[in-house]
Amino acid sequence: MKRRLIIGISGASGAIYGIRALEALRESPDVESHLVMSPSASRTIAEETNWTVKDVKALASVVYNYADIGDAIASGSFRTAGMLVAPCSIKSLSSIANCFGDNLLTRAADVCLKERRPLVLMVRETPLHAGHIDIMQRAANSGAIIMPPVPAFYSRPATIDEMVNHTVGRALDLFDIDTGLIKRWTGKSQSTQ
């Protein structure tokens, strides 16, 4: 049976992270992607990318309705490898940190926490005030992994795509999924290899 990974895309800036995760998972024959997107994600996709919502949905193995809190990923009996929310808005983070599962994205995240499955939140906001930091800590105390999309420069990325790939690859590493997106650190300068 294929491993199931839930991908949540909220309305925060950085929809490309969720899209790139779906693209990478599509190339992983042993992983099935389960997508849930907030309504605001549609606008962010249109504003920030050349993708259509229809094309993003076509990347996923299964697509869920954000408003249907009774769908499969809302139950702990539906086994998954966990969930990546990329990007994760402060609104979604707040709902997750406060166990407020009023939509399928936040309910699925809460299920991952209660079932002790990995939940990686690619929180996308800057600068942060004390309230943001407080809810990140609350989510982390419940078991979430807080992973803002901070680029790594040791691989000397030359394009935005390379930075996005590395960040998404590192996020998928947290689920033990190696997509080949990362130039891994070897202990030697990348410029001398």
- The first and second tokens of residue 82, run together, are 């966990």
pLDDT at position 192 is 53
Give the three-class secondary structure for 6.
strand
Q: How far apart are CA 58 and CA 48, in angstroms?
A: 18
Residue 17 annotated as lining a ligand binding site: no
Is there a domain that residue 186 lies in?
no
Is there a domain that residue 136 lies in?
yes
Residue 170 annotated as lining a ligand binding site: yes
Is there a domain that residue 189 lies in?
no
Is there a domain that residue 190 lies in?
no
Q: Length of the chain in residues, anyone? A: 193
- Categorise residue 8: left if φ over 0, alpha if ψ from -120 to 50, beta otherwise: beta
Is there a domain that residue 149 lies in?
yes
pLDDT tens digits for 37-63?
999 999 999 999 999 999 999 999 999
Asked if the model's pLDDT at residue 191 lies above 60, the reply is no
> For residue 8, what pLDDT band results from cuts at 50, 70 and 90?
very high
Residue 184 annotated as lining a ligand binding site: no
83-88 and 62-64 strand pairing: unpaired
Residue 38 annotated as lining a ligand binding site: yes
**Would you give the DSSP letter of residue 155?**
T
Asked if the model's pLDDT at residue 150 lies above 90, the reply is yes
Residue 154 annotated as lining a ligand binding site: yes
Bond from prior residue into 118 cis (ω within 30 degrees of 0): no
Residue 13 annotated as lining a ligand binding site: yes
Is there a domain that residue 187 lies in?
no
Where residue 15 sits, what CATH number does that domain have?
A: 3.40.50.1950
Residue 158 annotated as lining a ligand binding site: no
Report the domain count for the chain: 1
